[in-house]
Structure 1
């Protein structure tokens, strides 16, 4: 692997470790916040945080151009809806089913790449995807057992829709807007995504649904931390990873999240089992296999961006 690919994979590792912080923070916040209320607040604060960093980096022009781009606005709306689909789906499906569906992200990315003419899913890529999905499922199921939540068809469909929408959003930003700085894309897409989230929140509030929100300093501190780090920073690293190593390989990195979460839990006394370790090995093996050098690959899959195409703002 050349240096850009190594840096891209390192960004993917850091991205997923930072994103893993989202889970314990969410557990604490959702004790006093309704998910529908948290979604626009979380995305809005994350968008503002990244936008401020972008302004300091001289990206005001790039952000303004994206805000005026109708295609980018549409993609951002889909991004907002993907988050809502996840929230609805996770409230209606058991944790094991949700983990299995999320672990299928590389499959949907490869399928989209094939339909777009960006990827040619050969035997090596299919084997790599199989390894990472198996590793993600293996690690997720041992972490998610005993959730006590009954699964449902609607929950599975909503969760599946969330995964597909998020993968499509990522591919659009990585492929169609490859020359735009990552921070600008993240900032504008998050701020625009607040609109559909807020509209749906207003609809349920108008319908008489009780929306719980806790504005104590302690809880707001957790929300700001989650928005700035586990949402904002991880999203910038996520696009950087997808741009350099391809969205399909970036999605393979995502299957390490359950392992990172259980390692963090281990610091508080949880046990890391052999099943967790085996799952991590499968995911890493798949990601490495997918990136073994082959010729004539295109951006958006397992192809590193040509030298000079990386955005220094994303580093």
Structure 2
């Protein structure tokens, strides 16, 4: 989860500032079935305390056991688990799923440069801009480059591993409704940073989904103030055009990767006309809006609608066309 990545770097920063050496592990590649994707991270201290995940548990257990025994002393090294890894038969871990994965292990000594490196990482996960984290395999210091174009998460070239790093996935929910509550709960579980915006203060005070930020202001104002980046999804879920339409008008002017609004097909057709006539949007801008929102699951209840919404957001984030489902 992208939110878990942020927690990993938070912990790494705390340990480094406390003077602990730490090991930052990143999944580089997976082969066959594997529970985590490239870019997943784990940070650990030598006593075995750790945060994050590389697999379903078997890899972590072996890695932490070896770390306690004093292995992984090099500044940077790659390790393969499962398959035909280069570990001895006694060390090799066979993943229950039958797959294998390559892991990059960085040993980071407590220093001013390590803190600066982790703070840049942390700021990138919270910020508006994506970067490429470059880790030389010969032990030289890692550094960051601008990420000027989309591409695979992991890049390997000329003895340097590149890992694309970007803001944590964000979901802005425009307006509070029963669907909003279910959607916020699903999104939080999926690792999104969730922000609920509604100008009605009494509804904001009663909205109680753990881990969700509630902002008592018009969603359109929050979006206009810079609330969206390229890893943001915006959904309007109230059936109130005073909230939903204004949010859509501002959202289509951002880099948000998903924009959607709840409503029937007839309501959506009327909204499309209204957004062009009164909102001044172009046909291209209106075309960015998913309306009706979500996958066509035949949803009826708030939870079913929220499931359809979040499934569609995940589909778009993963680059899966609707006709591939």
Same fold (TM over 0.5): no
Higher helix share: 1
Q: Which has the larger radius of gyration?
A: 2
TM-score under structure 2 length normalisation: 0.21
Higher strand share: 2
